[in-house]
Amino acid sequence: MAVLRIVKYPEKVLKTNSKRVESWSQDLSQLVMDMFETMYAVSGVGLAANQVGIPLRLAVIDVRPNGKSKKIVLINPKILGLDGKAEDSEGCLSLPGLYKKLERAAKARVLAYDQKGIPWEIRGRGLLARALQHEIDHLNGKVFVDRLPFMQKIRVQKEIKRYQPIWQQQVRPRLTTASS
């Protein structure tokens, strides 16, 4: 397994719609494992494939605390329904250190495929609902700051400019680790 380089905002791959996964292969399974390892290495709760530079409609999520893992794999996900409203602080591995209050749906219902190509439906509320929406936004070429109100978005762009030199220093080559 490998820890992959996380793409930082405003790299182009984060702003483009990801392509549908058309074939399920060993390479796809390996990518899923690498994405989980990468996400855990930086204490994330979700990671989209385009965040590691691969523009595929694939995301992984695990919102449970360490030791109580529940790995969720979303391939070609589609939101079936959203309900309610909830405002909470949100961040992103592609915008490290930047957190903003953001309103999202309190509940989400999503249809996706698993690693074997089998369709399945997931319903989430709270942090899981937020993570589902956040990761699907990534696959649609959006980052969470794109959803902020106009004036707040302008202020955030100034913060982003301050963070960008730090983010560029954090870019590192693909690291591999031995599997246990």
Q: What is the share, in percent, of the chain residues with pLDDT greater than 90?
A: 81
Surface-to-core class of residue 90, CB atoms within 10 Å of its CB (0-12 exposed, 13-18 middle, 19+ buried): buried
Report which of 38, 22, 12, 44 is spatially closest to residue 141, judged by C-alpha positions.
12
Q: With cut-offs at 50, 70 and 90, classify the pLDDT of residue 176.
A: very low
**pLDDT at residue 67 in the model:** 64
Question: Across residues 28-50, what is the average pLDDT?
Answer: 96
Of 39, 45, 40, which is closest to residue 6 (Cα–Cα)?
39
- Which token pair is 10? 């405003």
Structure confidence at residue 166 (pLDDT): 77
pLDDT at 126: 96
Distances (CA, A) of 64 to 17, 46, 118, 150: 28, 11, 24, 33
Record the pTM.
0.90
Distance from C-alpha of 90 to C-alpha of 34, rounded to nearest angstrom: 24
pLDDT(177) > 80 = no
pLDDT digits (tens, 9 = 90+) for 109-151: 999 999 999 999 999 999 999 999 999 999 999 999 999 999 9
Whichever domain contains 55, its CATH number is: 3.90.45.10
Domain region containing 132? 2-176
For the record, the structure tokens of 15 come out as 């702003």
* Nearest-angstrom CA–CA distance, 75 and 85: 26
Q: Report which of residues 32 and 159 the model is more confident about.
A: 32
Q: What is the mean pLDDT of residues 47-64?
A: 97
Across the chain, what does the average pLDDT equal?
A: 91
Q: Is the pLDDT of residue 175 over 80?
A: no
Active site residues per annotation: 135
Band (pLDDT 50/70/90 cuts) for residue 163 is: confident
Tokens of 162: 């301050």
Alpha carbon distance 120, 117 (integer Å): 9
Domain count within the chain: 1
